[in-house]
Structure 1
Amino acid sequence: MIQELDLVALLTDRPAIGLRRGDVGTVVHIYGSGDLYEVEFINAKGDTVGVETLNADEVRAVDLGRVILHYKDLENAA
């Protein structure tokens, strides 16, 4: 079960703010019974790139033991 401050991976593209499937964010709030999550996405410096309210089926929990980091230039992400 996903909890506040857990890392989640995005399962859908969000081109309006330059996010793509697989981008990782932090759950900063859970609405109701866990059907909606407020997720903050940051860059490598810790600056907020975007905050999105996402349905439970648009994210999945991140297993840090199964993740490899990937470089993505936000300037050319679109």
Structure 2
Amino acid sequence: MFKELDVITLTSPIPGDCIWDIPSGSPLAKSGEGLRKGDIGTIVCMQRDGETFDVEFLEPGGRPVAIATVSASQARPATKEDIANRYIRRSQGQELSQSKIG
């Protein structure tokens, strides 16, 4: 279903202690939070089982936020609407409403 370089949307949150790389300048490093449902990332490496993959999450400006191992059950392909909502949410410092990400 998924392959390297696919853009995905998280369907469930990933706690900060389950993220294996958070750069020092990342907003997650400052807040201690994890990734949220609706966050968008790019698959950078598929695991051998094909059901998990490493995903890089970036801010809209391109600054790294985190790299996490995500299972297929925690993701879906990103849509154009997801990407547009992401930019609005991040620029306004808001969460997506559940109706826009479900």
TM-score normalised by L of structure 1: 0.78
**Going by fraction, where is strand more abundant, 1 or 2?**
1
Give the equivalent residue in structure 2 for 1:3: 3
Aligned CA RMSD, in angstroms, stands at 2.3
Q: Secondary structure at the match of 1:69?
A: helix
Q: Secondary structure at the match of 2:90?
A: coil
**Going by fraction, where is helix more abundant, 1 or 2?**
2
* TM superposition shift of 1:15: 4.2
1:32, 1:57 → 2: CA distance? 16
Residue type at the aligned position of 2:2: I
Give the equivalent residue in structure 2 for 1:41: 57
Structure 1, unmatched stretches of 5+, are none
Structure 2, unmatched stretches of 5+, are 17-27, 29-33, 96-102
Residue type at the aligned position of 1:12: S
Task: Please tell me whether Structure 1 or Structure 2 has the larger radius of gyration of its CA atoms.
Answer: 2
Percent identity between matched residues is 31
* TM superposition shift of 1:21: 0.2
TM-score normalised by L of structure 2: 0.62
2:52, 2:46 → 1: CA distance? 6
Give the equivalent residue in structure 1 for 2:67: 51
Q: Is the 8 A contact 2:60 2:90 kept in 1?
A: no
Number of positions where the alignment pairs a residue of Structure 1 with one of Structure 2: 75
1:28-50: CA deviations, max 9, x gaps?
A: 00011411110000001211100
Runs of 4 or more, structure 1, over 3 Å off, are none
Match of 2:46 among 11, 14, 30: 30
